[in-house]
Amino acid sequence: MRRRQILLAAGSTLLARGAKAAGYPARPVTLIVPYGPGGGVGINARAVQPYLEKQLNQTIIVEFKPGAGGIMGFTLGAHARPDGYTLTMVTSSITAAPWLVPHIDYTPEDYSYIGQVTFVPNMLIVNADSPYHSLADLIAAMNQKPGELAVGFESSWPSPDVAQVVFFARAGVKAKVVPGFGGGAERIASLLGNHLDFSFNNLNEALPMYQAKRIRVLAISGTARVAQMPDVPTFRELGLDVAIGVWRSLAGPKGLPDAVVQTVTGALKAALQDPALQTDFAKVGLSTDYLDPVATRTLVMHEYENLGKLFTELGINIRSKS
């Protein structure tokens, strides 16, 4: 009996040591950002990086992996070694693209969720010298010239593109959709160069240009107005049910050890509670919207299923056609 108790105690000690994932993180952790550094996801990753480093007592290497509108980075993150040394800042794109893009090698099921970092509304923007001063102006022009006004498109279907398609459906309008964009920063640059007539971007991509008075925001696709733009109405206020925003969460590949998830979750939660981080986030139009791993996964899978139904209704779900 005594020997059994000793063995059990020894086993408990080993388990406790294992729960610390062998001193994890014992070396730098790579955080994949599936877009370029100038976009909203890159801004978000850079803002949270030093605070995660502080909590984990380890270097976080932010690695930008743009390509195929984010698909390359999401694929790399989903298929990385599940040891906790490669994490990904995933976005709502992972709930849309698998329904819409052929031959994608990941779904939301291929990630282990650590926690939500923030939620950012999308918005419809035009150049500051645009003749469209309101959403009604833009819709009227699109009705007069169906399929002629240009707007950008990313092949991975990030949240702004989903909001864009829903806007077209709800407003009953058509645009000239220009493909090939790799992120929000590229679309804003094209808008400022008058190569696009309007664009859908998330808040922290658009905020610097809004503050510099280089763009005009016609409507926000969140459920409420935002503090940085109190005079800008939501789509719902204007009679259109377009409320899709973009969440950003930390995730690892499927099969990430529970001990690693717990370690990074604790670090993320503590980082987001840091007043200094909250101040830094506010400077770039970010809020702290923490959700634990279970709540994050629930949100992701619910959105994934609902978008599948929405895209089927719109006739653009490639899986429903196969």
Same structural domain for residues 76 and 212?
A: no
pLDDT band at 306 (very low <50, low <70, confident <90, very high): confident
Q: Tell me, yes or no, whether 205 and 253 share the same domain.
A: no
Q: Interhelix angle for 203-211 vs 40-56, to 10°?
A: 110
Q: What integer pLDDT is reported at residue 19 of this predicted model?
A: 41
Give domain status of residue 2, yes or no: no
Per the model's pLDDT, the better-predicted residue between 184 and 267 turns out to be 267
Q: Are residues 148 and 200 in the same domain?
A: yes
DSSP 212: T
Spatial separation of the C-alpha atoms in residues 141 and 201, rounded to whole Å: 20
Q: Which residue has the higher pLDDT, 3 or 311?
A: 311
pLDDT at residue 16 is higher than 80: no
Residues 116, 249, single domain; the answer is: yes
The pLDDT of residue 8 is above 80: no
Residue 225 forms part of a structural domain: no
Cα 259 to Cα 16, 26, 39, 50, 213: the distances in Å are: 10, 14, 32, 22, 47
Higher pLDDT among residues 217 and 222, named by residue: 217
Question: Both 287 and 307 in a single domain?
Answer: yes
Q: Are residues 103 and 126 in the same domain?
A: no
pLDDT computed for residue 205 by the predictor: 86
Residue-wise pLDDT tens digits, 85-133: 999 999 998 999 999 999 899 999 999 999 999 998 999 999 999 999 9
Task: Give the end of a domain, one of 220, 254, 280.
Answer: 220
User: Do 155 and 116 share a structural domain?
Assistant: no
Is pLDDT of 6 > 60? no
Give the pLDDT confidence of 136-173 residue by residue, as tens digits.
999 999 999 999 999 999 877 888 999 999 999 999 99
Q: Which range in 64-68, 178-182, 191-195 is most confidently predicted, on average pLDDT?
A: 191-195
Range among 2-11, 220-229, 299-308 with highest mean pLDDT value: 299-308
Look up the pTM and report it.
0.77
Say yes or no to pLDDT of 280 above 80: yes
User: Does 276 have pLDDT greater than 70?
Assistant: yes
pLDDT band at 21 (very low <50, low <70, confident <90, very high): low
Average pLDDT over residues 279-307: 92
In a domain, 250, yes or no: yes
CATH of the domain at 100: 3.40.190.150
CATH number at residue 126: 3.40.190.10
85 in any annotated domain:
yes
- Shared domain for 109 and 249, answered yes or no, is yes
Alpha carbon separation from 227 to 97, 211, 214, 249 (Å, rounded): 30, 13, 19, 22
- Please check whether residue 245 is in contact with residue 221, taking contact to mean a CB–CB distance below 8 angstroms: yes
How much is the average pLDDT of 23-35? Answer: 96
Clarify whether residues 115 and 125 are in a common domain: no
Q: Report the C-alpha gap between 264 and 281 in whole angstroms.
A: 19
Task: Examine residue 179 and state whether it is found in any structural domain, yes or no.
Answer: yes
Question: Judging by beta carbons within 10 Å of its beta carbon (0-12, 13-18, 19+), is residue 225 exposed, middle or buried?
Answer: middle
The whole-chain average pLDDT of the chain stands at 90
Is 171 among the domain residues?
yes
Q: Which of 220, 253, 286 is at the close of a domain?
A: 220
Residue 15 lies in a domain: no
The last residue of a domain, from among 157, 185, 220: 220
Asked whether residue 95 falls in the same domain as residue 151, the answer is: no
Q: What percent of the chain has pLDDT over 90?
A: 71
215 and 130 together in one domain? yes
> Does residue 314 share a domain with residue 261?
yes
Residue 240 inside a domain? The answer is no
- Say how many domains are in the chain: 2
State the residue for tokens 């990941």.
Answer: 106
Range of the domain at 154: 121-220
What are the structure tokens assigned to 172, written together?
Answer: 């009953």
C-alpha distances in Å from residue 98, one per residue of 79, 114, 157 = 15, 21, 9
